[in-house]
């Protein structure tokens, strides 16, 4: 029996399991002295999926009741001389001194933890993710083995949770890459803050601006600010590669605040004649969730730059709208800032929500525009009157969203317009504005004024010739 | 904890006879024995229906007792895929005692159930007022599931 039985180990008062420190000591000792050389020890890292939701919706007392029951279910399934620990809030770890059955144990735990709970008069359903690491293959000491189990756990979560994953070397490579990217991202954010303080250009983040065109007058009405990360060694890193990481490690607020300040400062220098050009800045759902902090970031960016509030638009996804329980978006709109729903048509917004939040702009998801002009000859042959092609569905959706916008007095914007055919369909559908490579790629800040003038000259000359 | 009576009902898949060599009748007898003892101790009444492939159980008792017995039931490997149908307070108990009945269609199994002192039919469960309709819901559920299973088995053998 391991040393844990002999020592006076302090147990977690809620679950009566050992804590992280005692567990680590136990793993170390067991790895030095495995009971069966032919069947080496294994480690299981268990994380409850979206447990925060249980606490949020059912209350902490119910959450604690679930944790107690989870602990008991795990303890009941694990052999008596093996160790079960509560590592943190909803993380558990298991040391199997004979690790041969680790995979079967993982499956059994997923089953047991996934069964319903009756707590404080309510039925609660949760699931779990499990990472498995076997010694000595996946780690020779406690640190390495626990790290391997956690990497496998992270992989199980990435692949959709409610599953188990055994550690593989390729996961380690991916984890290393992610770790390096995280280090570089943190460095870039630090540099950016120096830049803001000292007003020097040391930063790796830059904003590019893509014009938004009014389809009626064919003039530029505003620009969407797009974040770019130019790393000295990595080169240009796409937002898809670093925004999710920034959200995960909790630095999205800093990046978002920088983008707001930088975009407002730039837009304050843009032309106001014949009409003021606005700037549209993206905000992550996690930024919006910061509530009062986000409102302050917007207000600070405006006051620092002196930009009129009606020349700033904030773009948010449908999910951010749904999460804004504190009505912070309304506060921002009351400041005079325009609100814009991004990627509309892919989430679950209802008409009632749209009218309730009083948006100024709807950006129609680019997937609808993309369907227009796709080669559909093969499809057309197959299709019959009862099954409209994706293409005609897309056109129908564009019409529906444009109609919805004009009915509610909301400007609609088609994103990703690349061809004249797409522009025609969008225009015929009644969409108000468009954005895409057909008009211009995102440009550097110093190109903005020139771009506005070029479009102005074009629309004037077209107006004259008409 | 208040003395208010709660009712909890669930259905689950039976794993009896899938692992190990112990025969199903012995397992049924052992479930009956331990459930009777435990339920009497903590004031639980209700009914457990079973067939070849399914369980359906109604439990009545204090919230605390039900939540405790429910955890014990969840830890049991003899069933899986537990779906809770309801968990709420009731004005009075519908089941004066706890009993277990065979609800499948197999006549042989019905006879063997009687031999291990399990009720041979859900009709023999002592039940009052509101409980009657819910009991028939559970019986129908098991009946429908069994018909589905029967059809699948038919495909296999043909």
pLDDT single digits (tens) A152-174:
999 999 888 999 999 999 998 88
Closest CA to A268 of A257, A277, A256: A277
Pick from A73, A112, A118: CB nearest B67: A118
Residue B23 in 3-state DSSP?
coil
CA A413/CA A215 separation, integer angstroms? 9
Asked if B8 reaches chain A (Cβ–Cβ under 8 Å), the answer is yes
Judge whether residue B33 has pLDDT over 50: yes
Cβ–Cβ below 8 Å for A115 and B82:
yes
Would an 8 Å CB–CB cutoff place B55 in contact with chain A? no
Tell me if A118 and B84 make a contact (CB, 8 A cut-off).
yes
The per-residue pLDDT for range B132-148, each reduced to its tens digit, is 888 888 888 888 887 76
Looking at the partner chain, which of A72, A115, A118 has a beta carbon nearest the beta carbon of B66? A118
Please determine, for residue A188, whether its predicted confidence score (pLDDT) is greater than 50. yes
The pLDDT-based confidence of A148 (bands split at 50, 70, 90) is very high
Interchain contact, A73 vs B75, CB within 8 Å: yes
User: pTM score, two decimals?
Assistant: 0.68
Q: Summarize pLDDT for A277-329 with one digit per residue, the tens.
A: 999 999 998 888 888 889 999 999 999 999 999 999 999 987 777 766 657 88
Q: What is the pLDDT of residues B74-96, one digit of tens each?
A: 998 889 888 898 999 999 899 98
Nearest to A111 among B70, B80, B89 (CB): B80
Give the pLDDT score at A41. 97
Percent of chain A with pLDDT over 90: 59
- For chain B, what is the radius of gyration of the CA atoms? 15
User: Which residue on chain A is closest to B5 by alpha carbon?
Assistant: A121
CB contact under 8 A, A119 and B63: no
CB < 8 Å to A116, chain B: 10, 74, 82-84
Looking at the partner chain, which of B63, B67, B71 has a beta carbon nearest the beta carbon of A72? Answer: B71
Of A76, A116, A119, the CB nearest to B82: A116
* A127 touching B (Cβ < 8 Å): no
Average pLDDT, chain B: 84
| Chain B touched by A104 (CB under 8 Å) | no
Listing DSSP states for A263-331 in one string gives HHHHHTTS--SSSPPEEEEE--HHHHHTTHHHHHHHHHHHHHHT--GGGEEEEEEHHHHHH-TT-HHHH
Closest-CA residue of B relative to A69 is B71
3-state secondary structure of B122: helix
Contact of A122 with chain B, judged by CB distance below 8 Å, is answered with yes
Residue A342 near residue A350 (C-beta atoms within 8 A): no
Question: For residue A112, which residues of chain B lie inside 8 Å, CB to CB?
Answer: 74-75
Alpha carbon separation from A269 to A55, A226, A276 (Å, rounded): 48, 18, 10
Cβ-Cβ contacts under 8 Å, A69 against chain B: 71
Report the pLDDT value the prediction gives residue A352, as an integer from 0 to 100.
60
Q: What is the pLDDT of residues A11-32, one digit of tens each?
A: 999 999 999 999 999 999 999 9
Query: Do the Cβ atoms of A116 and B66 come within 8 Å?
Result: no
Which sign does the torsion angle of CA A16, A19, A25, A30 carry?
A: positive
pLDDT at B97 over 60: yes
pLDDT on residue B126? 83
| A375 interfacial to chain B (CB closer than 8 Å) | no
Most confident segment among A5-9, A56-60, B18-22, B142-146? A56-60
Chain A: closest CA distance from residue B29 (Å): 23
Q: Does B82 touch chain A (CB under 8 A)?
A: yes
Which residues on B lie below 8 Å from A76 (Cβ)?
75
* Angle, helices A60-77/A51-58, rounded to nearest 10 degrees: 140
User: For residue B158, what pLDDT is reported?
Assistant: 29
| Inter-chain CB proximity B84 and A116 less than 8 Å | yes
Task: For residues A67 and A87, give the distance between their C-alpha atoms in angstroms, rounded to a whole number.
Answer: 12
* Percent above pLDDT 70 for chain A: 88
Average confidence score pLDDT of chain A = 87
At residue A386, the pLDDT reads: 47
Reply yes or no: is the peptide bond before residue A218 cis, omega within 30 of 0.
no
Q: What is the pLDDT of residue B56?
A: 93
Sign of CA dihedral B89, A60, A112, B22: negative
Show the tokens assigned to A260: 């707001």
Q: Does A72 touch chain B (CB under 8 A)?
A: yes
Which sign does the torsion angle of CA A239, A242, A248, A253 carry? negative
- A364 CB-near residues (< 8 Å, 6+ apart): A344, A345, A397, A398, A401, A412, A413, A414, A415, A431
The partner residue sitting opposite A121, judged by closest CB among B63, B83, B84, is: B63
Query: Among residues of chain B, what percentage have pLDDT more than 70?
Result: 89
**B141 touches A at CB < 8 Å:** no
């Amino acid at each position: 029996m391991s040393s844990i039985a002999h020592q006076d180990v302090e147990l977690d008062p809620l679950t009566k399991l050992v804590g992280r420190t005692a567990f680590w000591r136990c793993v170390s000792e067991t790895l030095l002295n495995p009971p069966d050389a032919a069947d080496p020890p294994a480690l299981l890292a268990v994380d409850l999926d979206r447990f925060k939701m249980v606490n949020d919706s059912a209350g902490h007392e119910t959450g604690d009741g679930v944790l107690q029951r989870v602990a008991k279910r795990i303890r009941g399934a694990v052999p008596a001389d093996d160790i079960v620990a509560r590592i943190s809030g909803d993380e558990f770890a298991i040391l199997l001194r004979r690790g041969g059955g680790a995979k079967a144990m993982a499956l059994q735990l997923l089953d047991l933890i996934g069964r319903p709970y009756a707590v404080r008069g309510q039925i609660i359903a949760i699931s779990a993710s499990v990472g498995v690491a076997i010694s000595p293959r996946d780690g020779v000491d406690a640190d390495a083995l626990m790290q391997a189990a956690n990497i496998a756990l992270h992989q199980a979560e990435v692949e959709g949770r409610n599953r188990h994953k055994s550690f593989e070397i390729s996961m380690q490579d991916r984890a290393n890459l992610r770790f390096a990217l995280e280090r570089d991202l943190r460095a870039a954010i630090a540099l950016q803050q120096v830049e803001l303080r000292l007003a020097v250009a040391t930063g790796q983040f830059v904003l590019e601006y893509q014009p938004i065109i009014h389809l009626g007058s064919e003039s530029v009405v505003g620009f969407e600010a797009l974040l770019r990360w130019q790393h000295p060694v990595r080169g240009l890193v796409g937002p898809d590669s670093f925004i999710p990481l920034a959200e995960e490690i909790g630095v999205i607020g800093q990046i978002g605040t920088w983008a707001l300040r930088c975009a407002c400062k730039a837009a304050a220098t843009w032309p106001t004649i014949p009409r003021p050009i606005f700037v549209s800045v993206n905000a992550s759902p996690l930024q919006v969730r910061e509530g009062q902090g986000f409102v302050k970031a917007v207000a600070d960016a405006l006051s620092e730059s002196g930009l009129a509030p009606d020349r700033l638009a904030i773009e948010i996804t449908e999910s951010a709208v749904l999460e804004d329980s504190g009505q912070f978006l309304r506060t921002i709109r009351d400041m005079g800032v325009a609100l814009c729903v991004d990627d509309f048509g892919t989430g679950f917004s209802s008409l009632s929500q749209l009218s309730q939040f009083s948006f100024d702009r709807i950006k129609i998801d680019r997937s609808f525009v993309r369907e227009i002009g796709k080669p559909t000859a093969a499809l057309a042959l197959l299709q019959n009157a009862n099954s409209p092609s994706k293409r005609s569905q897309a056109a129908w959706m564009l019409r529906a969203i444009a109609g919805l916008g004009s009915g509610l007095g909301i400007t609609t914007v088609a994103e990703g317009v690349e061809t004249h055919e797409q522009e025609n369909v969008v225009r015929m559908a009644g969409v108000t504005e468009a954005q895409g490579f057909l008009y211009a790629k995102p440009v550097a800040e110093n190109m903005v004024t020139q771009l506005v003038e070029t479009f102005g000259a074009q629309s004037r000359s077209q107006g004259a010739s008409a | 904890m208040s003395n208010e009576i709660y009712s909890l009902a669930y259905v689950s898949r039976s794993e009896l006879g899938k692992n190990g060599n112990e025969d199903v009748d012995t397992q049924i007898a052992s479930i009956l024995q331990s459930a009777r003892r435990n339920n009497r101790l903590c004031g639980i009444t209700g009914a457990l229906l079973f067939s070849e492939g399914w369980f359906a159980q109604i439990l009545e008792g204090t919230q605390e007792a039900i939540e405790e017995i429910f955890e014990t039931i969840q830890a049991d490997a003899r069933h899986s895929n537990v779906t809770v149908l309801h968990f709420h307070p009731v004005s009075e108990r519908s089941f004066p005692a706890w009993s277990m009945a065979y609800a499948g269609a197999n006549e042989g199994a019905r006879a063997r159930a009687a031999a291990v002192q399990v009720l041979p039919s859900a009709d023999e469960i002592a039940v009052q007022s509101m409980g009657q309709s819910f009991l028939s819901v559970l019986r129908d559920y098991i009946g429908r599931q069994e018909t589905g299973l029967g059809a699948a088995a038919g495909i296999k053998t043909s």
